[in-house]
Amino acid sequence: MIKKILKFVFVILLIGFVVIQFIGRPEKTTTAEVTAAHITKQLQVPSNVESILKRSCYDCHSNHTKWPWYSSIAPASWLVADDITTGRKKMNFSDWTSLSEAKREARLNEICEEIKSDEMPMPKYLLLHGEAKLSQADKDILCKWVEAELKRIEETDPGK
């Protein structure tokens, strides 16, 4: 009797899993285009900094997302799409100019704060993307870059 119930539950779960693959499939937007609004066109981003950003930040904080294979399988696809949508809303390096100047400065400061506290990249992202983990040297490079950019912004706008 228990075997029949378990078999029935398994079949129902399997059917449910197949059905959800066709429901609410998230749109996977990505581009290779670097527009004038991109952070690398707005700030002085050295190649070593850009390399770190590409490796550890761009999947969630730019329009240059590399969608992993599991982002095509529900319910994982919903979770991945939600993380990317949330990340892009918080800070999108591809759409840097959409932020006010004050928000750009705040976001720059947050980069350093969040990587120093190991909040970014998110620990759950690092579980499947170990290559995105930031070394202490990576963190130092990013924070020195942030400091230099904030200083440069201050020097170009003496009213601050």
pLDDT score for 159: 59
Radius of gyration of the chain (CA): 20
Q: What is the pLDDT of residue 133?
A: 96
Give every CB contact of residue 45 below 8 A, 6+ residues apart in sequence.
39, 53, 145
What's the whole-number mean pLDDT along residues 20-34?
79
Query: Tokens standing for 46?
Result: 């050295």
Does residue 62 carry a pLDDT above 90? yes
CB neighbour class for 134 (10 Å; exposed up to 12, middle 13-18, buried from 19)? buried
Reported confidence tier of residue 46, pLDDT bands at 50, 70, 90: very high
Task: Report the pLDDT averaged over residues 77-106.
Answer: 91
Tell whether the model's pLDDT for residue 158 goes beyond 80: no
pLDDT of residue 16: 75
What percentage of residues in the chain have a pLDDT greater than 90? Answer: 58
